Amino acid sequence: MSIDYTSKIPNNVDLANDRTLQRALEHWQPRFLDWWKEMGPVDSSNADVYLRTAIGVDAEGWASYGEVKMPDYRWGIFLADRIPDRTIGFGDHMGEPAWQQVPGELRSQFRRIIVTQGDTEPASVEQQQRLGLTCPSLYDLRNLFQVNVEEGRHLWAMVYLLHAHFGRDGREEAEEMLSRHSGDADKPRILGTFNEPISDWLSFFMFTYFTDRDGKFQLKSLAESGFDPLARTCRFMLTEEAHHMFVGETGIGRVVRRTLEVMKEIGSDDPEAVRRQGAVDLQTIQRYLNFWFTSSLDLFGSEVSSNAAGSFANGIKGRPDETQYEDHVCADAIYELETPQGRESVSLRNAMNEVMRQSYIRDCEMGLKRWNNQIQRAGHDVRLALPSPKFRRSIGAWANVPTDPAGNTVTREEYDRRMPEWLPSESDRAFVHSLMQRVVEPGKMAGWIAPPDRGINSLPVDYEYVKLN
């Protein structure tokens, strides 16, 4: 079904023919807009931003580009097309027709997962609220705003499911999405990482590389769900998500490139000398990477999880790209994992969070390879590396076990003492913050980041992507 843009809420779910649902969502809409005004990007409501907006859900030509004032962005409800006769592809219901309604006995589990997913979307907008004030270029400012409006749309995606399929509970949960806030002492966001402040652009690029990539894997696993409206919703969200990770990967790559240019100019790789020239030394980049990677690993939950086993068995949540596996039932399969107590064999169903985390880690390696190629080509021996998944964990078997980034167990005293080598220290953060000066002349870049290889949608890099008015 094509997208109806004439409705108050653009959608391809035939909202016009479901008056009750339409009214409920139109009631939520002004609350969302109030939240956006209060918690969305500061100082942005007058700007004309070169944004892409979804106009279809097919892979080709799904978006159109043009100047939009962000409060006028058409947040809507878009599901990927229905696959005729789709059947459930994993777990105990393997082969049965996919559900068009939530099975009553799985209602609370589905609600919990949809709420958790939905909660991350506005959380990230809140985390990034003030970044526009220190953008390194108009190109980057536009990308930030694009990411922000699409996270807002992803909230709409989950709120639609809650309203359409969970009755009164769902409506209440939709309200709650706007009342929890990132970092709030009383009503924080649900998952840890989404309460971490993102107050500089290096953190933003790390977040879009590492944390949005958790989004990719979680959405892929929900795109396998037996509950068809959830699967279709997530399939379309993944199309939008790809750009967010692109922002992270190219953002970090551009910071590295600028650092290498400075190292060449001054003929030194001394971190202090690099900093004096206004670039971020590779060691600080590594510490930021350590922080966001480890925090994002926690988002997969515990290595051994009865929740994960239940979700898989019941057809709620599959593995990302389930078709890559031969056994989709996993009733008797065993998974080996390393815990602080030694090697353990557990039921594969109980280890689904760990299976996903391992695929995620492999995916994270790709960017590292590219950045390290740049460093190698520039003739330097330093390499960026992912720390061990045992390092600095707060969730799961390795939670609160002191290890170094290589995963060797260390004493608590050594762990605390050496932390400034491993994670951004107060002085690292102060230095990175000192670089965050707003640059808004078309085509100009802040001194700590190289320009992108190309602009948006074939436009030049010096196009005025945001007219600040």
Binder of ligand BYC out of 150, 200, 212, 240 (CB under 6 A): 212
Q: How far is the CB of 299 from ligand BYC (least distance, A)?
A: 5
Site for ligand BYC in 324-353 (CB under 6 A): 353
363: left (phi over 0), alpha (psi -120 to 50) or beta: alpha
Q: How far is the CB of 381 from ligand BYC (least distance, A)?
A: 33
Site for ligand BYC in 19-78 (CB under 6 A): none
Instruction: Assign 3-state DSSP to the chain and report helix, strand, coil percentages, each to 5.
Output: 55, 10, 40
Binder of ligand BYC out of 211, 250, 294, 388 (CB under 6 A): 211
By the rule CB under 6 A, 364 interacts with ligand BYC: no
Nearer to ligand BYC, 231 or 263 (CB): 231
Beta pairing, strands 63-69 & 342-347:
unpaired
Taking the mean position of all CA atoms in its chain, how far away is CA 267? 37
Nearer to ligand BYC, 215 or 282 (CB): 215
How many residues bind ligand BYC (CB under 6 A)? The answer is 26
Interface map 265-304 toward ligand BYC (x if CB under 6 A): ---------------------------------xxxxx--
By the rule CB under 6 A, 229 interacts with ligand BYC: no
Terminal Cα-to-Cα distance of the chain (whole angstroms): 38
By the rule CB under 6 A, 116 interacts with ligand BYC: yes
Torsion of CA 273, 279, 283, 288, to 10 degrees: 150
Burial of 275 (0-12, 13-18, 19+ CB in 10 A): buried
Q: How far is the CB of 244 from ligand BYC (least distance, A)?
A: 7
Which range binds ligand BYC by CB under 6 A, 76-84, 213-221, 331-339, 443-451? 213-221
Query: What's the CA gap between 94 and 314, in Å, rounded?
Result: 9
Torsion of CA 153, 158, 162, 165, to 10 degrees: 110
Side by side, the strands of the sheet bearing 63-69 are 63-69, 48-54, 466-467
Binder of ligand BYC out of 11, 44, 120, 233 (CB under 6 A): 120
By the rule CB under 6 A, 128 interacts with ligand BYC: no
Q: Say if CB 202 and CB 288 are below 8 A apart.
A: yes
Residues forming the site for ligand BYC (CB under 6 A): 112-113, 116-117, 120-121, 124, 151, 191-192, 211-212, 214-215, 218, 298-302, 305, 307-308, 317, 353, 395
